[in-house]
Amino acid sequence: MSYRSVEEIFESFNNLKVLIIGDVMVDAYIWGVVERISPEAPVPVVRTTKRDFRLGGAANVALNVQSLGATPLLCAVVGDDESGKRFIGRLQEKAISAEGIVVSDSRPTTVKTRVMTSHQHVVRVDEETDALLNKKEEAAVTQKIEELIQKADVVIFEDYDKGVLSKGLIAKAVDMARAKGIPTVVDPKKRNFLHYKKVTFFKPNLKELKEGLKVDFEKHDQKAIEKSVEQLTQKLESEGSLITLSERGVFISYKGEKHLVPAHMREISDVSGAGDTVISIAAMCVALGLPPFLIAALSNLGGGLVCEHIGVVPINKDSLLKEASKQGWI
């Protein structure tokens, strides 16, 4: 379908159901003030003023999908612990279904706690395991995918190397999606980088691209980037890729087209969660069959907008629509 305006595209987002498979986590924040240095060690003493508990990882992708008007179908694993219970409770508060969540009695819920003062990130404390799921857990996740994929228009693999996504599980899920003609979009990490065979669309950042292919070059070497993307597409037998290039913007190679889309000048406050926004927008654009330039341009614009906020926050659809409508892309 061809779209006559950005408004039409955003209206079509509302009809999509997006299956997100991957690693979820809690993004916890402790806000406070520093008034002295500890007598026990040369470190600041933070007096807590506020705590926050946010949905992170694949769950932040679900929030972005929801913010864009689509219906997220989240499939992931949490621990049978207090953080897991709070996580499921927070999903329910956000009106996101927990039907695809598997509760494990053998692994903890991933929690990343950030200590923040005066807009400074003092330290981060991680509670997690990156062990692969056991056979029982993987079977439970596979069953959830089989159920949820019946409703899906696109599948996002949100991989944080925390163990939910294995080579075998990825292959099963991709096969299920291909059998139904559902596009698959990947936000990869290192461990499974080359395991996403025959996916539709791949979205690494430049560092992940170089590490995944074991190549090295300067970040401004566009020829090397394009050569690496061609190599990646051949290895994965995928249809294309979107490479995020930080301050340089994004590069897309998809459906026989290549575009380098520059970043928009912004006041950057925090890059946390920008990749989650980019993959959410890209996946929904792929599901709608948008042209490659528009996929890259909208994803790039959304990723930049969330960087203006402190902490991990989902995209604001109205802000994105307002900005996109000014660009004259359609």
Catalytic residue positions, numbered: 276
Strand partners, 253: 241, 258
Task: Tell me the C-alpha distance between 274 and 307, whole Å.
Answer: 6
* All residues at 6 or more sequence positions from 97 whose CB lies less than 8 Å from its CB, including other chains: 72, 73, 74, 91
Q: How many helices (H) and strands (E) does the chain have?
A: 10, 13
The SS3 call for residue 26 is strand
Task: Tell me the C-alpha distance between 130 and 161, whole Å.
Answer: 6
Q: Is 247 exposed, middle or buried (0-12, 13-18, 19+ CB in 10 A)?
A: exposed
* All residues at 6 or more sequence positions from 101 whose CB lies less than 8 Å from its CB, including other chains: 24, 74, 75, 76, 77, 78, 88, 91
Considering Cα of 84, then 184, then 139, then 106, what sign does the dihedral take? negative
Q: At what angle do helices 317-325 and 6-13 cross, to 10 degrees?
A: 160
- ∠ Cα 153 154 158 (to 5°): 150
Task: Tell me the C-alpha distance between 80 and 70, whole Å.
Answer: 29
Task: Tell me the C-alpha distance between 209 and 228, whole Å.
Answer: 8
The SS3 call for residue 172 is helix
Show the tokens assigned to 14. 């509302």
3-state helix, strand, coil in the chain (%, to 5): 35, 25, 35
Task: Tell me the C-alpha distance between 8 and 208, whole Å.
Answer: 34
